[in-house]
Amino acid sequence: MTLVGERAPRFDLPDTEGRIWQLEPAVPTVVVFTCNHCPYALAWHERLMAVAREYAERGVRMLAVNPNDAERYPRDSEAQMQARVQAGEFDGVPYLRDASQQVARSYDARTTPDVFVVDDQGTVRYRGAPDGDYDDPAAGAQWLRSALDALLEGEDPDPPETEPVGCSIKWKP
């Protein structure tokens, strides 16, 4: 199932301080499913934060969503999420808890990370990996950047979809 070209599922999710976040109308948004315990998510993390910083100036917002079952994976607990935010690892990007996992399911998210770009009309325009090599910081989340550049120039991302790479989302039993 791909969501590209379809309306992005709406959600209301709390960040680590309990503030509720939603997709905002007219704001291009990157929704990243991520977590604390996955080496792929961690390897890509700095690249994603760099995108959030640089594209914020162009009106793009990033929301990070942790959907993992924290009972079986305690590193993904709210306390551990809060610790990373307080340590400055999210650089202002809201780190949201999808405790019911309904948001991850509605996006058909498969891995951490799994990146979705939503345009200012609320349509998913890109889905997949940040770039082609988690192991190469120089890859620079280029696939995500290209998708955002296309979007901001009124064009279609090419490709609109890549294969997400990372740890499987840890669904509740």
Chain residues that interact with another protein, rule: CB under 8 A: 37-40, 42-43, 72-74, 134-135, 137, 165-168
- How far is residue 78 from each of residues 18, 88, 97, 151, 159, measured CA to CA in Å? 10, 16, 7, 33, 35
Question: Shortest CA distance to 61 belongs to which of 94, 37, 39, 38?
Answer: 94
CA distance linking residue 120 with residue 27, whole number of Å: 5
Q: Closest CB to another protein among 29 and 34?
A: 34
| Nearest approach, Cβ of residue 12 and another protein (Å) | 29
| Nearest approach, Cβ of residue 167 and another protein (Å) | 4
Q: Closest CB to another protein among 13 and 169?
A: 169
Q: Closest CB to another protein among 102 and 168?
A: 168
CA distance linking residue 28 with residue 8, whole number of Å: 11
Q: What is the 3-state secondary structure (H, E, C) of 75-113?
A: HHCHHHHHHHHHCCCCCCCCEEECCCCHHHHHCCCCEEC
| Nearest approach, Cβ of residue 113 and another protein (Å) | 12
| Nearest approach, Cβ of residue 165 and another protein (Å) | 7
Q: Closest CB to another protein among 110 and 152?
A: 110
